[in-house]
Amino acid sequence: MPGRDPHGGAAERIRKAIALVNSVADEAGDEEITPTEIAEAIRDCLELSDVDSVPNVRRYLGESLDAVSDGMPADFVAMTLYAALGALRERSPD
Amino acid sequence: MLSGGARLVVESMPERQSTSVVLMFGAGSRLEDDRLAGVSHFIEHLYFKGTKRRPSSKEIADAIEGVGGFINASTDKELTAYWARVPSEHMELGLDVLFDIIANSKLDPADIERERIVILDELRMYQDQPQDLVQNLFEELIWPGHPLGRDIAGTEESVTRLTRDEILEYADAHYRLPNLVIGAAGMLDENATLAVVRDQLSLRADPDGALAVAEPAPLESPHVLVRRRETEQAHICLGVRAFSYTHPDRYALDLLNTVLGEGMSSRLFLNIRERLALAYDVHSFTQKHRDTGYLGVYIGVDPKKAVDAVNAAMAELRSLSESEVLPDELARAKEFTKGRLRLELETTNGVAFWLTYQELLLGEIKTIDEELALVEAVTAADMKRVAREVLNGPVQMSVIGPFARDSAFRLAVGA
């Protein structure tokens, strides 16, 4: 389909993961979000094959998963997820 | 050329009310080893503390400010400049004060100790200014282990240790006539200026043998340096080694820098700030020395967007070497560069510095028309060729912000 973002699926999942992380960083929301839930959201991203179609996206997601495992601050996890999302954006048609 | 080897460059600007005089020595922090780090800057401060004829800083300032003038100095990596701007009828006074401070400063031990404290405070102040500190860290990466990569003011350790004898020895070695260019611009008489200089200038004439400078070693690989600070913003400098101020492609590099990141219609500003809203402050800059230089990008960004912003900046750099800049971008960059140069040369101070820099660093003086013609001659193909050459080098990046690890930044620049 003309103009369609070929990485839309991965981008959407990364955005969801970012929203989760940001709600922790901002201490927003009624429910407490656990690191396990964030890790699960990142793993959901990694399951998509289009994360391999753009260089470094999988590696940034891997960095974010490591950061969650290592108990790094939510802002740091968000940074690596934004980097993954940005890498997809750089390779997407305008 | 004056007797003793000093050089005088003069520009008559008869429509002006002021005259600016500059004394520029080819001595800056690049000539200092680790032990003497910061001595050029230290001397520049001390020379305003008092001379035999004007025993305190107040008397030096009063002499110039008493006629409404300005006096100041600056230390750079390859030079130190002392300057005054005065109403034209006081040109002789301006030169007299400058000659007095460079030849007759007392370097009183008590003044040295007071100024040492001031400089140490200055060094600590920079540590609290991440936008400055990140550029210093970047220069450490661009010129590792070389005096060019060190802060001009030295280190806390070196400034604490410098002795009066070391300061005197360094000044004696470098503040000599063959190492001096005097510039004057404004409403002046060239012959009268020459007469004043001949009459008043007094320094050692024999050249000192210690002016050789070592070229920085080539950079082999990209490096990332993350300095963890709990700042609200991340401060990032990234870039590559580039050209010296004698390189024939320096004009193409300057235009490339303008297209990339100078002003609000540059690519970095339009794409990273306006389109992607990633950073409030993003711009590029160059620095050039006699045998080396760099092209750098500064980004001030929300820490969460730091790596994304680096990737976006890297994409802009790559695009410069992948395709030629557009005709309207090239035209804008040329007009920007030419306009800035013309504005810079509106003041007598700007002209005096421009002449003096050229004579000291290049050994020749181009007219503004010659300089503008060299800018005009650059083509889009030249800029692409230069981008390919320069951006092929290993990227160096310094980061200040609340980051516990550097792996994502390394990934962004392939380090």
Q: Distance, in angstroms, between B217 CA and closest chain A CA?
A: 31
Q: Would you say B20 and B85 are in contact if contact means Cβ atoms under 8 Å apart? A: yes
Pick from A59, A64, A82 the residue to mutate for testing the B interface (most B CBs within 10 Å).
A82
Which chain A residues are Cβ-neighbours of B271 within 8 angstroms? none
B226, B229, B311: best to mutate for the A interface, most A CBs within 10 A: B311
The pLDDT of residue B226 is above 60:
yes
Residue B156 bears catalytic tag = no
Give B14-59 pLDDT, tens digit per residue. 999 999 999 999 999 999 999 999 999 999 999 999 999 999 999 9
pLDDT band at B209 (very low <50, low <70, confident <90, very high): low
The percent of residues in chain B predicted with pLDDT above 90, rounded, is 93
| Confidence grade of residue A7 (pLDDT, cut at 50, 70, 90) | low
Band the pLDDT of A38: cuts 50, 70, 90: very high
Q: What is the ipTM of this complex?
A: 0.85
Q: Beta B293-301 vs B279-288: how paired, if at all?
A: antiparallel
- Torsional class of B42: left (φ above 0), alpha (ψ -120 to 50), beta (otherwise): alpha
Shortest CA distance from B318: residue in chain A: A90
Encode pLDDT of B121-141 as tens digits. 999 999 899 999 999 999 999
Nearest CA in chain A to B276: A86
Marked catalytic residue, from B44, B262, B316, B329: B44
For A31-37, which contacts have Cβ atoms below 8 Å and span 24 or more sequence positions?
A35/A68, A35/A69, A35/A71
Residue A31: pLDDT band (50, 70, 90) is low
The predicted pLDDT at position B202 comes to 84
Of B35, B53, B49, B29, the C-alpha closest to B113 is B49
CA gap B75, B90 in Å, rounded: 25
CA dihedral A25, A26, A32, A34 (to 10 degrees): -10
Residue B210 pLDDT grade (very low, low, confident, very high; cuts 50, 70, 90) = low
Residues 6+ apart with CB under 8 A from B34: B158
What is the DSSP-derived secondary structure letter of residue A58? H
Q: Check residue B339 and give left, alpha or beta (phi > 0: left; psi -120 to 50: alpha).
A: alpha
Closest Cα of chain B to A61: distance in Å?
10
Residue pairs between chains A and B whose CB atoms are closer than 8 Å: 53
Q: Render pLDDT for B58-71 as a digit per residue (tens, 0 to 9).
A: 999 999 999 999 99
CB contact under 8 A, B307 and A80: yes
Q: Counting beta carbons within 10 angstroms of the beta carbon of residue B99, is it exposed (0 to 12), middle (13 to 18) or buried (19 or more)? A: buried
**Residues in chain B closer than 8 A to A82 (CB atoms):** 304-305, 307-308
Domains by residue range for chain B, with CATH: 7-200 (3.30.830.10), 223-413 (3.30.830.10)
pTM score of the predicted model = 0.91
List the single residue in A63, A75, A86 with the smallest CB-CB distance to B312: A86
- Nearest Cα of chain A lies from the Cα of B280 at a distance, in angstroms, of 17
Nearest to B96 by CA among B78, B108, B84: B84
CB contact (8 A) between residue A79 and residue B307: yes
pLDDT for the residue B399:
98
